[in-house]
Amino acid sequence: MRERVAITGMSINTPLSDTLDGFVEALLAGRSGLTNWRAFNTDRIYSKVGADLSGYDLQARVREFEGVLDPARYRRLRKLTRSAPWSTKHSMVLAAAAFADSGLHDRAPEFIDEMGVVVAGHNLGNLYIEHNRTQFEDEPDFIDGLFALHALDTDHAGSVSDLLQARGPAYTVGAACASGNVAMRCAVDEIRYHDAQSVMLVGAVLQFAPMDLHAMALMGAISFQSFNDEPHRASRPYDAGREGFVPAHGGGALMLENWDQAIARGARIYAEVVGVESASDGNHLPQPSAEGQSRAMRKVLQKSGIAPEQISYINAHATSTPLGDVTELDSIRRVFGSHAKNLKLNATKSMLGHTCWSAPIVETVATVLQMRAGRLHPSINIETLDPAVDLDVCAGGAIAHEPEYVMKNAFGFGGINSVSILRSHDD
């Protein structure tokens, strides 16, 4: 028997909300978090639209943890976030919020000492690196004195483990836009096969630099032509007029725990992680493959012992790209056959844009909140449904639905596919 894995804490930060209640309320209302970019000057790049957290007051958010975290951790949070780069600050705040939400912050050290930390993402601080490179050209001695440390993605895992005083394994996982699910797979493995009792899983906020966005525009991957004056309409999965995904700031965190420990300490259990699996296309190019995606879906169903008919809802990858959206639907039809017509699907990215590496974790939070609410959010901005879309994608608005088992798809550049299955839990 494999160890069961519970989600006992969650946190979120997107332009829609930085609280769980506010987040699910905004999703069910069908609100968009997209604006024009404010984090940098876009005069020289094609990309003008995104979900922008550059104006978010991180230090005010840190002060909210006074009296929530124990005094020692609160002091560490204030100290560590004072000098850390922007993206790393977000990782620590997200971890602190999920840790507090789990109730583990009130437990004895033996519950925490061997906690693992897994951070999803890579190339996380490109704007921070660009600013220091520019400073280096002007005066080398004036770059960030800790650049050699802070520029490393592992600084996220190290900073979170320092904050929580977690002394289990700590590392980062990079798998493009599948990073969050692949990192979850690693976290689950730590609990099932390496005796971890808990793992903090962080979907780090990707700090885009202008060159990143311009390169994606030159590749033809992102929306940059039609919606600069109406950014809230730019992300439109399943619509006939979709023209590419919309890059977005956003992050989330999940506290994963050994099921028996969670039950023994009386934890609130949001949901169970039944399984997470991965499969690759054997192709490094950003060309979605129905064969590779369906292989990952079949694998997680088989390994989890779940029949396709037990899945009633899929939180789709659905990025708003012309090829990607229909390829995913083709993959679903291959796996689910005639049952595909009974499935409910929706596209969280229609409101958030694509938070890239953190998207699977951000959207897992969205999925769990919908399961607990008994309602699914709409896929917005579908003005003319693509004729190739013949499944129920929640185009008409939020609907009542209470799934027991759900699937979360995540597919990354380079043919990296990862799929998870969650099970609802009634407290």
pLDDT for 168: 95
Q: Are residues 13 and 101 in the same domain?
A: yes
Instruction: Using the predicted structure, report yes or no on whether residue 423 has a pLDDT greater than 80.
Output: yes
pLDDT for 111: 76
The span from the CA of 427 to the CA of 418, in Å, is 28
pLDDT for 396: 94
pLDDT tens by residue, 123-141: 999 999 999 999 999 999 9
Q: Are residues 13 and 64 in the same domain?
A: yes
Which residues belong to the active site? 177, 317, 354
How sure is the predictor about 232, in pLDDT bands with cuts at 50, 70 and 90?
very high
The neighbour count for residue 35, using CB atoms within 10 Å, is 17
* Contact call for residues 340 and 314 (beta carbons, < 8 A): no
Q: Are residues 62 and 169 in the same domain?
A: yes
What percentage of residues in the chain have a pLDDT greater than 70? 99
pLDDT for 1: 62
Q: Are residues 189 and 107 in the same domain?
A: yes
Q: Which of 241, 270, 299 is the endpoint of a domain?
A: 270
pLDDT for 45: 96
Q: Are residues 241 and 317 in the same domain?
A: no
Number of domains in the chain: 2
The span from the CA of 370 to the CA of 347, in Å, is 13
Write the burial class of residue 59 (CB in 10 Å: 0-12 exposed, 13-18 middle, 19+ buried): exposed
DSSP, collapsed to helix, strand or coil, labels residue 312 as strand
Q: Are residues 247 and 330 in the same domain?
A: no
Element (H, E) at 76: helix 71-83
| Average pLDDT of the segment spanning 12-30 | 98
The more confident residue out of 286 and 289 is 289
The neighbour count for residue 63, using CB atoms within 10 Å, is 12
pLDDT tens by residue, 77-88: 999 999 999 999
Q: Are residues 236 and 278 in the same domain?
A: no
Q: Are residues 197 and 213 in the same domain?
A: yes
Tokens standing for 205?
């906020």
Q: Are residues 236 and 366 in the same domain?
A: no
| Average pLDDT of the segment spanning 35-49 | 96
Q: Are residues 288 and 261 in the same domain?
A: no
Domain coverage including residue 313: 272-424
Element (H, E) at 191: helix 179-193
Q: Are residues 279 and 253 in the same domain?
A: no
| Residue that the structure tokens 């919309």 belong to | 246
Strand order in the sheet with 416-424: 170-173, 116-120, 198-203, 251-258, 5-13, 271-280, 416-424, 405-412, 311-315, 344-346
Q: Are residues 278 and 260 in the same domain?
A: no
Instruction: Using the predicted structure, report yes or no on whether residue 212 has a pLDDT greater than 90.
Output: yes
pLDDT tens by residue, 159-182: 999 999 999 999 999 999 999 999
Tell me the helix, strand and coil percentages in the chain, rounded to 5.
40, 20, 35
pLDDT for 286: 85
pLDDT for 382: 98
| Average pLDDT of the segment spanning 380-408 | 98
